[in-house]
């Protein structure tokens, strides 16, 4: 009798265990997939019966696969990593869970997250479509050694765009180094500054293009044109071989990008220049961000609650956010994590500067912009027109008019 | 009196050799660079001028690669899918090519236009409907979703038709028919054995096509363990953080089976046919 | 004894694998894409959100200047890359086949390597070699420019190969040519293998020289394979996507000089999420390809005596 009971008990326990074995699917791209994998050891301590499958795909491939999955409502993961550039489209599509609602109630943790990042997650107009996990507060990385040789102070670099360009002229004269990698970089920053609340970069709250009316476009185009005309840019595109080389050789004095660039410079882009760079704010106190990663739960996901649990661990767990920054350069969206000891440390690569503190300060000042479905298209068209201004001498007015017309034409289709 | 091929062998003048070598160098250059890059660390690759001679980081790159993807598994899947895809392609295309080349039948023209038509439709719009079909069939994450749909490519049928038309004389077929050979026997015993060079060529092309295909696996494969190699390699590419050395190492390795296949099939190709068997 | 598959039935049996595969995997995607052309669809919103718009997509595509630019680019690239492919491949195949003896395999191997190199590696190699200030090509041009005779011909500044609209097209045409030359060489060598040797021997006995043998025996016998190869090049050239895509980082180059129709279609679908318009563009391209393929067909068939 005892043996039978024991046997039945064992059977019961084992079937229970088997019945509870669940597989959670996470779809991501590098390096988010690595970040998720590194979090699993900790998370699984509380969920021993859950297997987590991380599907890693190349950045564009991942978003294409997610587009396909959303289109067919099949093959969707439980947790979907989305990069900021694609967030607008996916959120507006209506296929993602609203994390403000029950059972997620993300709003309860709203105060813990960097304000603009949370707002970006809400910018699809369908509640909170995705939780922010990392952000890219903008910073100006500049070569301190070259600047001091040219007798350019940091104040001159960051004071105004005019003084920024003036510094460029001084830099070129004394060291031969160029100011920026590409004139377009300046335009990119300027058009992201001074955006009225409720509007997007290219569209107003009615969805109409503001390219020919918003002053920031004219200013951005003018500044870029000036920089090119005075021969202050290296005409290299970011992430190309030449770009890497120009950073290594000190042929470019300034690189404005997300704060995460510091880690890349140190690890592989230009390790030989350690100690020569400093980080500063963007000119005219512009606060903008580069990229950013979010986690979403598709409507058709199978294990929504487990998915939410994992997302909470990835985004609200301080140790996890800190670890992601230290190991993978992912600047935490969690405010708590930005206060860690790690942030107060001097950064050797930047000559001992306590840069992370200034990045943190910049991050909380970034204001959110609304995303629109046609943002990618508008960016493309504007860049094409800028190209014509820079290389073929097209007039800024005409370029803005043409860009506006083309964008309006496409935007009015939807 | 017979003349042999040796007569022509060494009669390539110096000018001929020069251009041939120059051509080979141009073809070889980028390929060589890929192998060189596979042996260097990331920083060395993203610099100018790039390294031109082999470095010492190959094993380190391999380790990085193996960390990120189930390397051997992916390679294995690529091989498996490639071989099956090639075998089926050779079979189905030669059958269909035979039909178009040797027979007259109703709808022949329409059907051939249909075959040609399928070549004209670009593939990525078909991604979503293909996915729907695979899902409906339950073939997601299964290799058969990779080797079956494309097993009778129009290009292969077209090639076989052209080859059979030009290389297989009608007299042979007539002779076999008069010997009371069944039509299918004609295919297996008369036509197929003479298709050596065509099999070699199409086999090579089919295998390479299958090997390098990543759109199919991207849509259909859900687990990294089921990825084919090109897809697995791509998955280590990041917008800002690609491990270039590891990627080049992987690309270099991906090419080796293709090289081996090429050596193997070019023998078939060259020593294929002596057309003398046809006459008399 | 009557065979169970007679002469009448045989062709249908032989074609059946193709027909089955086509009906299951070929027809639906084609039909879907045709259907999609008349609808407005943002894929991210799911299958149910297609909106019927009739001919709107087609009309929009026809009026969109970028569609015409891309068609022009595509035709230019197809021609510039395709023509040399065959003009060079045929004599090369002849040389390799007839004159190289035991070096034949090695030569074919060398020409075949570009075809099997991964596109990621190709993108890397070429952007490295063509770099404006650090690339090997410009360095070589620098060296050449020091020779007095050439100084006048070569530009004084480094050429921005990848960045200026005038040069990006020839660069891509060259990469495509580089990639597919070996493919065509293999095709032609295979075809030349099947030319009966007696024809050559007879010609030789009649005193024909090598180049005469080439023109009067080899070329005519190559017609079927030429038709095949050229058709493939026409179709492949007009659908050109991969090489321009990877060499311009997916953007189409300065002033869209390298944007092919296939690339524009891909971007419309997956970056601008407008599947209806993408379908319309693809069917427009289909019409162009069909017309040119028929023209190729006519060209080759009318030459057959």
Is pLDDT above 60 for B10?
A: no
Which of C70, C99, C269, C298 would best serve as a mutation to test chain B binding (most B beta carbons within 10 A)? C99
- Helix, strand or coil, per DSSP, at residue A27: strand
Q: Does A240 touch chain C (CB under 8 A)?
A: yes
Nearest to C194 among B103, B151, B273 (CB): B273
Half-sphere exposure of B259 (CA within 13 A, CB side): 13
- With residues binned 3-state (H G I as helix, E B as strand, rest as coil), the percentages for chain A, rounded to 5, are 55, 15, 30
Mean pLDDT value of segment C107-136? 81
For residue A56, list its beta bridge partners: A28
Cβ contacts below 8 Å, chain A against chain C, sum to 73
Query: Model confidence at A62, in pLDDT bands (50, 70, 90)?
Result: very high
In a domain, B254, yes or no: yes
| Rounded Cα–Cα distance for residues A166 and A147 (Å) | 12
Confidence at residue A399, expressed as pLDDT on a 0 to 100 scale:
94
Contact A31 B50 (CB under 8 A): no
- CA-angle at B96, arms to B90 and B100, nearest 5°: 135
In a domain, B5, yes or no: no
Confidence at residue C111, expressed as pLDDT on a 0 to 100 scale:
85
Chain center to CA of B273: 21
Contact A30 B238 (CB under 8 A): yes
Measured in angstroms, the CA of A75 and the nearest CA of chain B are apart by: 8
- Cβ neighbours of A57 in B, within 8 Å: 218, 231, 234-235
Nearest to A55 among B219, B222, B241 (CB): B222
Measured in angstroms, the CA of C117 and the nearest CA of chain B are apart by: 7
For residue C39, list its beta bridge partners: C52
CB within 8 Å of A12: residues ≥ 6 apart: none
Percent of chain B whose predicted confidence (pLDDT) is above 70: 88
Kindly report, residue by residue over A250-288, the tens digit of the pLDDT. 999 999 998 889 888 988 888 899 999 999 999 988 888
Q: Domains in chain B: how many in total?
A: 1
| Contacts of B among chains (3+ CB pairs under 8 A) | A, C
Confidence at residue C85, expressed as pLDDT on a 0 to 100 scale:
93
Q: Report whether the peptide linkage leading into residue B209 is cis, meaning its omega lies within 30 degrees of zero.
A: no
User: H/E element holding A26?
Assistant: strand A22-28
| Rounded Cα–Cα distance for residues C269 and A377 (Å) | 12
In a domain, B158, yes or no: yes
Chain center to CA of A255: 16
Is the CB of residue C207 less than 8 Å from the CB of residue C216?
Answer: no
State the helix-helix crossing angle for B244-270 and C165-193, rounded to 10 degrees. Answer: 30
Give the start-to-end residue ranges of the domains of chain C: 55-303
Model pTM above 0.90: no
Which runs of consecutive H residues, i.e. helices, occur in chain B? 6-9, 14-37, 42-45, 58-68, 71-102, 108-120, 127-137, 144-147, 154-167, 170-178, 183-185, 196-212, 215-220, 229-234, 244-270
| Rounded Cα–Cα distance for residues C7 and C275 (Å) | 46
Confidence at residue B234, expressed as pLDDT on a 0 to 100 scale:
83
Whichever domain contains B163, its CATH number is 1.10.3720.10
Which of A60, A96, A378, A410 would best serve as a mutation to test chain C binding (most C beta carbons within 10 A)? A410
Q: Which residue has the higher pLDDT, B15 or A318?
A: A318
Confidence at residue B2, expressed as pLDDT on a 0 to 100 scale:
36
Mean pLDDT value of segment B166-182? 81
Chain B residue nearest residue A271, CA to CA: B43
Kindly report, residue by residue over B106-145, the tens digit of the pLDDT. 888 888 888 888 887 766 777 888 888 888 888 988 899 9
Mean pLDDT value of segment C10-33? 88
Kindly report, residue by residue over C138-176, the tens digit of the pLDDT. 878 887 777 777 666 677 778 888 888 889 999 999 999
CB within 8 Å of C168: residues ≥ 6 apart: C161, C162, C247, C248, C253, C254, C257, C258
Among A66-75, B1-10, C50-59, the minimum mean pLDDT is found in B1-10
Mean pLDDT value of segment A368-397? 89
Contact B219 A269 (CB under 8 A): no
| Rounded Cα–Cα distance for residues A36 and A315 (Å) | 11
Give the start-to-end residue ranges of the domains of chain A: 14-136+290-355, 137-289+369-411
Is pLDDT above 80 for C135?
A: no
Confidence at residue C106, expressed as pLDDT on a 0 to 100 scale:
79
Indicate the burial class of B198 (C-beta count within 10 angstroms; 0-12, 13-18, 19 or more): buried
CB within 8 Å of B6: residues ≥ 6 apart: C101
Confidence at residue C5, expressed as pLDDT on a 0 to 100 scale:
65
Is pLDDT above 80 for C225?
A: yes
Contact B34 C121 (CB under 8 A): yes
Measured in angstroms, the CA of C149 and the nearest CA of chain B are apart by: 23
Measured in angstroms, the CA of C212 and the nearest CA of chain A are apart by: 50
User: H/E element holding A53?
Assistant: strand A50-56
- Cβ neighbours of B128 in C, within 8 Å: 32, 43, 275
- Cβ neighbours of B132 in A, within 8 Å: 72, 74
For A14-136+290-355, CATH gives 3.40.190.10
Confidence at residue A273, expressed as pLDDT on a 0 to 100 scale:
92
Contact C42 A373 (CB under 8 A): yes
Is the CB of residue C202 less than 8 Å from the CB of residue C121?
Answer: no
CB within 8 Å of B205: residues ≥ 6 apart: B155, B156, C183
Chain A residue nearest residue C277, CA to CA: A413
For A137-289+369-411, CATH gives 3.40.190.10
Q: What is the dihedral of CA B41, B45, B50, B56, to 10 degrees?
A: 20
Chain B residue nearest residue C182, CA to CA: B27
Is the CB of residue B129 less than 8 Å from the CB of residue B62?
Answer: no
CB within 8 Å of C205: residues ≥ 6 apart: B1
Nearest to C99 among B12, B105, B248 (CB): B12
Mean pLDDT of chain B: 81
Contact C128 B184 (CB under 8 A): no
| Rounded Cα–Cα distance for residues B164 and C225 (Å) | 10
- Helix, strand or coil, per DSSP, at residue B104: coil
Q: What is the dihedral of CA A176, A180, A182, A187, to 10 degrees?
A: -140
Among A205-219, B66-80, B110-124, C12-26, the minimum mean pLDDT is found in B110-124
Confidence at residue A383, expressed as pLDDT on a 0 to 100 scale:
92
For residue A131, list its beta bridge partners: A295
Measured in angstroms, the CA of C252 and the nearest CA of chain A are apart by: 10
For residue A79, list its beta bridge partners: A26
Confidence at residue B3, expressed as pLDDT on a 0 to 100 scale:
39
In a domain, B203, yes or no: yes
Is pLDDT above 80 for B11?
A: no
Measured in angstroms, the CA of A34 and the nearest CA of chain C are apart by: 22
Which of B47, B61, B124, B129 would best serve as a mutation to test chain A binding (most A beta carbons within 10 A)? B47
- CA-angle at A405, arms to A402 and A410, nearest 5°: 130
Is the CB of residue C10 less than 8 Å from the CB of residue B184?
Answer: yes
Query: Model confidence at A298, in pLDDT bands (50, 70, 90)?
Result: very high
Chain C residue nearest residue A406, CA to CA: C64
Chain C residue nearest residue B256, CA to CA: C116
Task: Report the residue count for chain C.
Answer: 305
Measured in angstroms, the CA of C32 and the nearest CA of chain A are apart by: 13
Query: Model confidence at A408, in pLDDT bands (50, 70, 90)?
Result: very high
Half-sphere exposure of B252 (CA within 13 A, CB side): 22
Phi, psi of C76 (to 5 degrees): -60, -50
Measured in angstroms, the CA of C172 and the nearest CA of chain A are apart by: 18
Mean pLDDT value of segment B31-41? 86
| Rounded Cα–Cα distance for residues B256 and B246 (Å) | 16
Nearest to C120 among B103, B251, B276 (CB): B251
In a domain, B71, yes or no: yes
Mean pLDDT value of segment B87-101? 92
Is the CB of residue A119 less than 8 Å from the CB of residue A368?
Answer: yes
Measured in angstroms, the CA of C50 and the nearest CA of chain B are apart by: 14
Is pLDDT above 60 for C71?
A: yes
Tell me if domain A14-136+290-355 and domain A137-289+369-411 are identical in fold. yes
Mean pLDDT of chain A: 89
Confidence at residue C140, expressed as pLDDT on a 0 to 100 scale:
80
Mean pLDDT value of segment A67-76? 88
- Cβ neighbours of B149 in C, within 8 Å: 21, 24-25
Q: Which residue has the higher pLDDT, A333 or B198?
A: A333
Confidence at residue A414, expressed as pLDDT on a 0 to 100 scale:
62
Mean pLDDT value of segment C46-60? 88
Mean pLDDT value of segment C70-99? 90
- Cβ neighbours of A388 in C, within 8 Å: 255
In a domain, B8, yes or no: no
Is pLDDT above 50 for B8?
A: no
Superfamily of domain covering C55-303 = MetI-like (1.10.3720.10)
Mean pLDDT value of segment A342-352? 90
Is the CB of residue A314 less than 8 Å from the CB of residue A33?
Answer: no
- Cβ neighbours of A95 in C, within 8 Å: 44-46
Mean pLDDT value of segment A149-165? 92
Mean pLDDT value of segment A132-158? 92
Contact B131 A75 (CB under 8 A): yes
Domain that holds residue B200: 25-274
């Amino acid at each position: 009798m005892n043996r039978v009971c024991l046997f039945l008990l064992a059977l019961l326990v084992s079937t229970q265990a088997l019945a509870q074995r669940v597989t959670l699917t996470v779809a991501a791209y590098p390096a988010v997939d690595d970040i998720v994998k590194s979090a699993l050891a900790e998370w699984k301590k509380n969920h021993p019966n859950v297997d987590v499958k991380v599907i890693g795909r190349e950045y564009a491939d991942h978003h294409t696969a997610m587009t396909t999955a959303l289109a067919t409502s099949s093959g969707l993961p439980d947790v979907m990593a989305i990069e900021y550039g694609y967030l607008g489209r996916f959120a507006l599509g209506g296929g993602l869970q609203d994390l403000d609602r029950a059972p997620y109630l993300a709003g309860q943790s709203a105060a813990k997250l960097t304000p603009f990042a949370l707002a970006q997650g809400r910018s699809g107009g369908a509640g909170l479509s995705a939780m922010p996990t990392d952000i890219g507060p903008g910073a100006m990385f500049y070569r301190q050694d070259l600047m001091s040789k040219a007798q350019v102070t940091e104040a001159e670099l960051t004071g105004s765009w005019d003084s920024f360009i003036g510094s460029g002229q001084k830099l070129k004269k004394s060291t031969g180094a160029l100011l920026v990698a590409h004139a377009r970089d300046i335009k990119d920053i300027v058009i992201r500054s001074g955006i009225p609340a409720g509007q997007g970069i290219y569209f107003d709250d009615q969805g109409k293009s503001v390219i020919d009316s918003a002053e920031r476009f004219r200013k951005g185009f003018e500044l870029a044109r000036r920089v090119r005309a005075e021969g202050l840019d290296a005409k290299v595109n970011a992430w190309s071989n030449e770009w890497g080389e120009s950073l290594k050789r000190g042929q470019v004095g300034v690189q404005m990008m997300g704060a995460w660039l510091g880690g890349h410079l140190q690890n592989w882009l230009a390790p030989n220049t350690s100690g020569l760079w400093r980080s500063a704010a963007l000119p005219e106190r512009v606060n903008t961000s580069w990229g950013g990663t979010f986690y979403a739960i598709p409507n058709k996901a199978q294990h929504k609650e487990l998915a939410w649990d994992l997302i909470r661990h990835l985004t609200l767990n301080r140790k996890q956010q800190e670890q992601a920054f230290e190991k993978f350069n992912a600047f935490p969206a969690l405010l708590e994590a930005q206060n860690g000891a790690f942030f107060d440390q001097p950064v050797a690569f930047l000559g001992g500067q306590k840069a992370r503190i200034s990045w943190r300060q910049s991050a909380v000042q970034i204001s959110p912009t609304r995303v629109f479905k046609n943002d990618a298209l508008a960016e493309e068209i504007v860049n094409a027109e800028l190209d014509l201004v820079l290389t073929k001498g097209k007039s800024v007015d005409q370029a803005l008019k043409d860009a506006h017309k083309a964008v309006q034409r496409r935007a009015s289709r939807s | 009196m017979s003349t042999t091929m040796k007569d022509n062998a060494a009669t390539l003048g110096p000018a001929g050799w020069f251009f041939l070598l120059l051509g080979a160098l141009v073809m070889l250059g980028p390929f060589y660079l890929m192998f060189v890059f596979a042996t260097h660390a990331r920083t060395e690759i993203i610099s100018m001028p790039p390294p031109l001679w082999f470095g010492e980081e190959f094993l380190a790159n391999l380790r990085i690669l193996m960390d990120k993807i189930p390397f051997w598994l992916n390679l294995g899947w690529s091989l498996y899918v490639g071989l099956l895809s090639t075998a089926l392609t050779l079979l189905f295309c030669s059958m269909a090519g035979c039909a178009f080349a040797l027979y007259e039948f109703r709808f022949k023209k329409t059907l051939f236009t249909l075959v040609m038509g399928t070549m004209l439709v670009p593939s990525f719009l078909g991604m979503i409907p293909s996915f729907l079909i695979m899902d409906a069939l339950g073939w997601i994450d299964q290799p058969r979703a990779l080797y079956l749909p494309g097993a009778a490519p129009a290009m292969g049928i077209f090639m076989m038709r052209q080859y059979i038309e030009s290389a297989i004389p009608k007299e042979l077929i007539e002779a076999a028919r008069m010997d009371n050979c069944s039509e299918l026997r004609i295919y297996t015993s008369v036509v197929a054995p003479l298709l050596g060079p065509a099999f070699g060529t199409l086999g090579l092309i089919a295998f390479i096509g299958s090997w390098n295909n990543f759109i199919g696996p991207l849509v259909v494969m859900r687990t990294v363990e089921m990825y084919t190699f090109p897809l697995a390699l791509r998955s280590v590419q990041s917008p800002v953080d690609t491990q270039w050395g590891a990627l080049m190492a992987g690309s270099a390795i991906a090419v080796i089976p293709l090289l081996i296949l090429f050596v193997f099939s070019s023998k078939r190709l060259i020593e294929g046919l002596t057309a003398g068997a046809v006459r008399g | 004894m009557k065979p169970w598959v007679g002469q009448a039935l045989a062709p249908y049996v032989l074609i059946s694998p193709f027909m089955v595969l086509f009906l299951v995997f070929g027809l639906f995607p084609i039909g879907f894409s045709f259907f999609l052309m008349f609808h407005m669809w943002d894929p991210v919103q799911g299958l149910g959100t297609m909106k019927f718009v009739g001919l709107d997509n087609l009309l929009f595509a026809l009026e969109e200047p970028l569609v015409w630019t891309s068609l022009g680019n595509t035709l230019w690239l197809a021609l510039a890359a395709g023509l040399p492919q065959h003009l060079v491949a045929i004599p090369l195949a002849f040389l390799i086949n007839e004159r190289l003896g035991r070096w034949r395999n090695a030569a074919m191997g060398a020409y075949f390597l570009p075809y099997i190199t991964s596109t990621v590696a190709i993108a890397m190699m070429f952007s490295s070699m063509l770099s404006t200030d650090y690339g090997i090509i410009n360095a070589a041009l620098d060296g050449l420019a020091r020779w007095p005779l050439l100084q006048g011909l070569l530009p004084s500044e480094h050429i921005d190969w990848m960045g200026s609209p005038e040069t990006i097209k020839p660069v891509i045409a060259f990469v495509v040519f580089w990639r597919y030359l070996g493919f065509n060489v293999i095709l032609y060598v295979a075809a030349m293998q099947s030319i009966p040797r007696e024809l050559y021997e007879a010609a030789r006995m009649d005193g024909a020289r090598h180049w005469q043998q080439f023109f009067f025996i080899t070329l005519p016998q190559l017609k079927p394979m030429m038709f095949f190869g050229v058709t493939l090049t026409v179709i492949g050239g007009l659908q050109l996507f991969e090489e321009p895509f990877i060499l311009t980082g997916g953007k189409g180059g300065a002033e869209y000089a390298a944007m092919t129709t296939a690339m524009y279609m891909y971007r419309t679908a997956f970056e601008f999420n407008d599947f209806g318009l993408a379908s319309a563009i693809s069917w427009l391209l289909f019409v162009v390809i069909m017309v040119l393929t028929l023209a190729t067909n006519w060209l080759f068939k009318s030459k057959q005596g």
